[in-house]
């Protein structure tokens, strides 16, 4: 996995007031609940044709990115120097784009290449 950092000029405002569990509908119509380990708030943001789900979550440390693979495994990620990570898009090849803030509150963008 490679993460390339780019600078962006926008910020994402998030509300932590409500802790959510995210659900996925199975082919038979039932719902599957999932959360990254330690999550207090989970927000799926995008899904690709293979069924990989991209999003972000909060734990007791901060905000991190996650990728839920079609087999149900969950990988978490943060670009180097990040204190607040959020993924915004995933393409059919699994390339992820998103943003993060560093310790000074400066926003950046990233591309995560599998």
What is the model's pTM? 0.75
Residue written as token pair 């996925």: 24
Which DSSP category does 29 fall into?
A: S
Judged by average pLDDT, the poorest of 32-41, 77-86, 87-96 is 32-41
Alpha carbons 27 and 79: distance in angstroms, whole number: 34
- pLDDT for the residue numbered 25: 64
DSSP state of 60: S
The values of phi and psi at residue 48, to 5°, are -100, 175
**Every domain of the chain and the residues it spans:** 2-9+17-113
Beta bridge partners of 106: none
């Amino acid at each position: 996995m490679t993460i390339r950092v780019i600078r962006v000029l926008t910020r994402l405002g998030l509300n932590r007031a409500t802790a959510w569990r995210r659900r996925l509908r199975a082919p038979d119509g039932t719902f599957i609940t999932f959360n990254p380990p330690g999550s207090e708030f989970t927000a799926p943001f995008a899904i690709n044709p293979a069924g990989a789900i991209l999003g972000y979550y909060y734990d007791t440390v901060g905000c991190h990115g996650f990728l839920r693979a079609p087999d149900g495994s969950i990988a978490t990620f943060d670009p180097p120097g990040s204190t607040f990570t959020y993924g915004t898009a995933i393409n059919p090849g699994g390339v992820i784009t998103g943003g993060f803030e560093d310790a000074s509150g400066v926003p950046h963008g990233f591309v995560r290449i599998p």
